[in-house]
A and B are shown apart, each in its own frame.
Chain A
Amino acid sequence: MEPFKKTKSIVTPLDKVNVDTDQIVPKQFLKLVQKSGFGKFLFFNWRYDENEHPKSDFVLNDSKYDNSKILVAGDNFGCGSSREHAVWALQDYGFSVIISPSFADIFFSNCFKNGILPISLEQNIVEKLQQESEPIEVDLENQTIKTSSDEIHFDIDSHKKKILLEGLDDIAQTYQFEDKISEFEKQSTVPSVL
C-alpha cells in the first residue's frame, strides 16, 4: 500500500447526508474480479443520466474540481453495504482524503486498508470546509488541516495513523503474532466446520 503523508488540493463539496455505498459504486459494477478501474463508476447514477451523459448539476462534473483530492461530505458517509469497491472507486478517481461528521464503521475500516484518510470533524467545521474555495492542506503527521484562514486539528487512532504513514501491509504485521495465534487455536473450544 502507498503511504499517505500529506496532500493539498481544493475540496469537492458533496452536500448530502447518509451517502450509502450503493451510491458510491452501484451494484452493476461489482462484478469485476480486480481492484483497479473503479473510478469511472464512482457515483455513477448521480454523475450520468440514463444515456450516460454527465449531469451538469452534479459536483463531480464541474471541471473546477477535476484535480481535487479531498471530498467533504455530510453525516454518516459510507453507510450500507460492506463493498470495498466503494473505497477502490474513490481512490481510483483520485480522492485520498474524505471528511465528514461521521462514517459508517465498515467503510471507515476499509479506507485504512487502501491508503485513504477518513477524517471526522464537527458538523459546523465540515460545513465551513464545504464553502472553502482555496486549496487546503491535510497533514497526517501533524494531524492538521490548513485552510486559507484557519488551522484545524483532527484526531486519529495512533495505530491507524502509523499504518497510513508507513503504508504497512496489515497481514505481514499480523504474522509477527503467529505464536500467539497458534497458542489461541490450541485452547479454542469452537470445533471445525467440517
Chain B
Amino acid sequence: MGKTLFEKIWDAHIVVGKESGPSLIYIDRHLVHEVTSPQAFDGLRMNNRQVRRPDLTIATMDHNVPTTDRGLPILDQTSSVQIKTLEKNCQDFGIKLFDINSPNQGIVHVIGPQLGITLPGSTIVCGDSHTSTHGAFGALAFGIGTSEVEHVLASQTLWLEKPKPFEIRVEGKRKNPHAVTAKDIILSIIKNIGTGGGTGTVIEYRGEGIEDLSMEQRMTICNMSIEAGARAGLIAPDEKTYDYLRGRQYTPKNYESLVEYWRENLKSDDDAKFEKQFTLHIDDIAPQVSWGTNPGMTCDVTETVPTPEEFSKGDSNQKKGAEKALDYMDLEAGTPIEEIKIDRVFIGSCTNARLEDLIEASKVIKGQKISSDVRAMVVPGSQMVKKQAEEMGLDKIFTDANFEWREAGCSMCLGMNPDILSPGERCASTSNRNFEGRQGTGGRTHLVSPVMAAAAAINGHFVDVRKMDLS
C-alpha cells in the first residue's frame, strides 16, 4: 500500500522504531526563541550537557520584543532579562542568534522560510505551537514544550507517537481571490471540523484550492492547523515551493540536487490511505469573522452572531461554551456581523504579516483614512518584510491612512510586549487566537484576514470586503 507524504517524512526520520509506542525521530531544524527556551538551557547546564547540533539550531527573539524604536532600551525588566538570557545561552552553547538589532530578526515562523532555513521533507520543531507554518513547504513541522526543547538541544531527537494522516481537500476556485483569502479558507475549515477536529493527526491540505495559493498564503493555511488541534499541517511541495526557496541566504549549496530528489519523492502516493478526510468547496465562501473565544466560533461576514443553540447543534457543553463566549465578547445573538463596531485593528502575527499580506491590505487602505474611532497598527512579521515593504512605499500608504507602522515581532498576537488591548476593547486582528484575554486582559478579539482588517479600520466596523474595489 502507498504512503502519505507525512508517512514518508516520518519513516525517513526514524532513528529507533518499535512495534508499538513512541519512535525516536531525528530533528533536522530546531528554532529557538526567548520565551520557551531558558528553562531548557538551564536543564542542560544542571546536567552538564551540550547542544548536540548547534549547526541545526537557530535562535531569534520575537515574543516579547517591543515594536517601537529599536534604539530605545527595553523598559519591561522581565522581558529584558528573558532577552539577555537568550543572548547568553546562545553564546554559551554556540548557537546562531538573530538578535533584536539583526536585519534577519523577526517572528521565527516568518524568518525560517525567508532565510531558506525551512526545507521540504525535513523535520522542524520549535517551542511554539505555530511551528506548523513551515508545513507549507512540505516539511513535518510542529510545536513542542520546553522539556522537549531541552531534549532536542541535547540529542537532536524526540520520542514521538505517530500521529494519524488526515486529508483535507480544498476544491474549487474563489471568485474574488483578493477579497476571499487563505485566512478565510482555514477559518472555514476550523469552523467545520472544530478546534479538536485534528487532534492526534497531521493534516495534508490538497486539491485545486491549495495548489492555486502562493507560498505565503499556504503558510497562513498551515499556520492555523494547530487551531484545529492538529499536530502539524503540510502541503506537498511543487515548483512554487522550490522557486520560493531558491537563492535565499541560507538555502543549501546543493539545492538543485535536493530539488531533484524532492520532485521525485515528496508527494502522497495515489493509493495512500488517510485515516480521516474532509472536503471544503470554496467557490462560494465568504470572508470569515470570528465572533467567539476560540477559532471554531466563526461565521461569514454576511451572517449574524449565532445563538448558542444554533452554534452547539444539541451539545450541551458547547452551548455553555457559546453562552460564555457571547458574554465575554459582549455580543447579542442575532447581531449582524457588519454592525459590530471595533476599537482597534492589528495587522500582524505569524499567520498574516508577510509581504503579500501587507500588499493586499494596502490596496484596501490606499488613499483613505482609518475611522477616527479606531487605533490601528501594522507589525511586519520580520525586519526583512518591513524593509521590503518600505522599499515598495507600503509604509507610507499605511501611515498616510493613520496606521502605526512598527518594528517586527509577535506583538499584539499574544500581547507579551507592551502592545495590548485595554479591558473591553474590541479588535479586528489578523492573528490566530481569539481566546479570552489573549491580546490583553478583558480584550475582545475577532479573527479576520488582512483585507478584512483593513476594511474594518476604515469603516470602524466589519464590512464585506468583496463590496470594495481592490483592483
Contact = CB atoms under 8 A, between A and B. Distances in A.
Interface of A: 15-18, 20, 22-23, 26-28, 30-35, 45, 50, 74-76, 79-85, 87, 102, 104-106, 109-110, 113-114, 157-159, 169-171, 174-175, 177, 180-181, 184-185, 188-194
A43 to B, nearest CB: 11
B253 to A, nearest CB: 8
B148 A113 contact: yes
Contacts of A84: 36, 39, 127, 145-147
B36 A82 contact: yes
Interface string B414-452: 111000000100000000010111100110000000000
A83 to B, nearest CB: 7
B36 A83 contact: yes
Nearest to B64: A31
A20 B56 CA distance: 31
Interface in B255-276: 258, 261
A106 B155 contact: no
Interface string B232-243: 000000000000
A79 to B, nearest CB: 6
B284 to A, nearest CB: 29
B435 A22 contact: yes
Given A20-B435, A189-B261, A193-B58, A170 B78 contact: no
Interface of B: 15-16, 21-22, 24, 26, 28-29, 35-36, 38-39, 42, 47, 49, 52-53, 55-58, 63-64, 76, 78-79, 81-82, 85, 96, 117, 119, 121-122, 127-129, 143-148, 150-151, 154-157, 159, 161, 163, 195-196, 199-200, 226, 229, 231, 250, 252-254, 258, 261, 294, 317-318, 320-321, 324, 414-416, 423, 433, 435-438, 441-442
Contacts of A81: 128-129, 414, 433
A95 B52 CA distance: 34
Given A34-B39, A84-B36, A114-B147, 8 more contacts: A82-B143, A82-B144, A105-B163, A110-B148, A113-B148, A174-B151, A174-B157, A181-B15
A48 to B, nearest CB: 10
Given A105-B199, A113-B148, A181-B15, A34 B129 contact: no
Given A82-B36, A106-B129, A193-B56, A17 B147 contact: no
B229 A27 contact: no
A75 B163 CA distance: 19
Given A22-B433, A27-B414, A181-B26, A193 B49 contact: no
A16 B321 contact: yes
Contacts of A34: 38-39, 42
Contact of B47 (A17, A45, A171, A174): A171
A176 B416 CA distance: 39
B49 A171 contact: yes
Q: Which 6 A-B pairs have the closest CB atoms?
A: A113-B147, A33-B38, A84-B145, A110-B145, A31-B78, A192-B55
Contacts of A177: 15-16, 24, 157
Contacts of B146: 35, 84-85, 110
A23 B436 CA distance: 7
Contact of A22 (B64, B154, B159, B437): B437
B148 A109 contact: yes
B56 to A, nearest CB: 6
Contacts of B129: 80-82, 106
Given A82-B36, A175-B155, A190-B122, A75 B196 contact: yes
B328 to A, nearest CB: 10
Contacts, number: 195
17 contacts: A22-B435, A23-B437, A27-B414, A31-B76, A35-B42, A45-B436, A84-B36, A85-B146, A106-B129, A109-B148, A110-B145, A159-B159, A174-B154, A177-B16, A177-B157, A193-B29, A193-B96
Contacts of A76: 195-196, 199, 229
Nearest to A45: B437
Given A18-B321, A31-B416, A191-B254, A102 B199 contact: yes
A114 B43 CA distance: 13
Among B122, B147, B200, B436, chain A packs the most CB atoms within 10 A around the CB of B147
B436 A31 contact: no
B199 A31 contact: no
A20 B445 CA distance: 15
Contacts of B58: 193
Nearest to A174: B155
A170 B321 contact: no
A18 B227 CA distance: 11
Given A102-B199, A104-B199, A194 B24 contact: no
Contacts of B324: 16
Given A76-B229, A181-B26, A33 B144 contact: no
A11 B245 CA distance: 52
Nearest to A34: B39
Contact of A82 (B127, B157, B161): B127
Given A157-B21, A170-B159, A181-B15, A87 B229 contact: no
Contacts of A192: 53, 55-56
A128 B22 CA distance: 32
Contact of B437 (A26, A158, A169, A190): A26
Contacts of B53: 192
B15 A184 contact: yes
A95 B324 CA distance: 25
A75 to B, nearest CB: 7
B147 A110 contact: yes
A83 B128 CA distance: 7
